[in-house]
Structures are given as structure tokens and as C-alpha cells.
Amino acid sequence: MELRPVGTSGLRVSRLGLGTMTWARDTTDEQARSLLEMFHEAGGTLVDTAAAYGAGDAERLIGRLVAEMGIRDDVVLATKAGFVIRDGERIVDTSRRALLRDLEGSLRRLGTDHVDLWQVHAWGDAPLAETLDAVDHAVAAGMVRYAGISNFVGWQTAQAATWQQAFPGRTPITSAQVEYSLLARRAEVEVLPAARAFGMGFFPWSPLGRGVLTGQYRAGTPRGSRAATDHFAWFVEPYLENRSRGVVEAVVRAAEGLDLLPLQVALLWVRDAPGVTAPLLGARTPGQLAPALAAEDQALPHEIASALDDVSGGPNAARPAAVGTRGA
């Protein structure tokens, strides 16, 4: 699999990442092993998780599998801190105490002395200086190699990056991670421009529109899908409205014309969009991951990518014009 630099840093990752939000919950241990083996064999390196996923169980599973497979040096382990779900309530705590406590727990569960990329999972109420001081401490202590942010809006992204650049010796913000797909293009307004301005890599989560862009919901809610579960129905429902249906149908038509799957068309649009480093694939089963990996050598024709831009919200101002159309 092709490797891409993460912004202007020296870190390089595969241009697809493996997301693990469902591991140790909807994804069984056996399925997780198969997913990691398939991903690794395809040349994938970026494995993204979080202390909050499965209340730490996803990290435990990753740590065990990576050790059993002997692939720690082959993978870029990325995790997050500062966000937990306690008694069904989402709690964001980005204080120094909470972040470093989360990191110590992540290292223990992952069975490693360091993580390659440590991300602040969400913007919190703690002073930004305190949050980023915890990041600096973790890097200086050797527990973290690179630092990133997740789910920050544009001004928050710029503020964090500016703060770290203000004085020599502070840890640069290497990457940003937010939702981005044909059904969620808000990142193009401020987050992606901020990432470009500060030399940051960009990791889109839910590049398949929370599963809706696969086309599986066109005739209803399939049994076994995320929308059919009590704990993920709320996550999918916002994309099951009329506007989304039009985008899904456009993806399906493009897939038919290109002899690809809708999943592959939606993924390729994100993977090769301007500013994107690596979409994070939240495949729950090997059968969902296989077609994504099979599209490694594919690319969307410029006119198809542009047409999908138009139907999903309008032209992407950062997308280069097709050859022969400049100045037209």
C-alpha cells in the first residue's frame, strides 16, 4: 500500500488507516485478528484507536494481537485521550491529570512503552495551555512520538497549532482528525485549510458516511447493520434523510459505470481528496474490509470526482482543475 507523509512531519503512514471503534464490542476477537492480518498483509500501517473505545477493551485487544503477530515495528499505533463514556454519559476532560492518566492506561493496555501518534480526542473546558503542556510532557518523557488533535473545529485547530508554534521546543501538532465524507464535507470550510496552513496531516473518520454510502440502506435497515443496533442507531440516522439518498444514488450510478462497488467509489473520493492523508476505515468484519483494500490501485476519473463534488454540496475549491481546463 502506498505510504503518505503526515503533513510536513517525518511520519509516514499507509494511505488507508484501520479504525477500531467497534473492536471488543461489535467486532469479535476472531474478526479483529482477521482484520489486522488482512490490513497488515496489504501493507497497511496506521491503526487508530482510543482509550474510550470499549472502555479500553479495544486497546487491550490491539495490544494482544500486535504482540502475538509480532508486528509492533510495522504499525503506527495511534490512540486518543480526554474523552470517556461513564454511565452512558459522554465526558470530556482534557486536564493534564486526565490526559496523562489516559495515556498511562493506553500504554498498559496496548503493551507498549510508547504510542506513535497521541491525539487529544476532543476540545475540552480545561485551559488549552494545560492540555498542550500534557502533550509536551508526554513527548519529552518518551511516551509519545507525535501529537495530534481530533474533532477540533477550524478555529480550535488553528489555535492549538499556533500555540505550539509560538515558542521553540513545544511539540508540533502533526495531524487533525474529523469526520469527512460525501455526506459530511464541513471540514473543507475551515479544518482542511487550517491543516494545510500549519503543515498538518488529515485523517477523515467515517469516510463512508457512517456506512450509508455503501448503499446498504437504500431499501431499508438491514439486520446486523449499525443502524439496527441500539447503541449505534443514533449515529447513522442523521444520514438516512432525503438529501443523503440523492448522494447515495449518485455514488451507486458512478460505481455501476466504473465497475466498482459504491463503497469503493465513496472511499476513493475521500482518499484522494485534496489534503487527505489517510481515511480511517471502521470495518467491523473482514468482508467489509476486503473491497476497500482491493481498491488500492484504483482512482476516480477527475470528471467523476468533480461530479460527486457537485451533487454532494458543490465544487471543492482545493481540487485541481482537470488537465486542459485551466483558464477555460
CA distances to 54, 199, 255 from 251, in Å? 32, 31, 6
User: What residues have CB less than 8 Å from 71, skipping those under 6 apart?
Assistant: 40
Contact 285, 291 (CB under 8 A): no
Q: Which residue has the cell 494545560?
A: 130
The alpha carbon dihedral of 9, 293, 239, 84 has a sign of: negative
Which of the residues are catalytic?
A: 53
At which residue does the C-alpha cell 480545561 appear?
Answer: 126
Q: What does the block give as the cell for 70?
A: 509480532
3-state SS string over 235-280? HHHHHCCHHHHHHHHHHHHHHHHHCCCHHHHHHHHHHCCCCCCCCE
**Pairing between β-strand 12-14 and β-strand 3-5 as defined by DSSP bridges:** antiparallel
Would you list the DSSP string of 50-104?
-TTGGGGHHHHHHHHHHHHHT-GGG-EEEEEESEEEETTEEEE--SHHHHHHHHH
Specify which residues 120 forms β-bridges with.
Answer: 81, 149
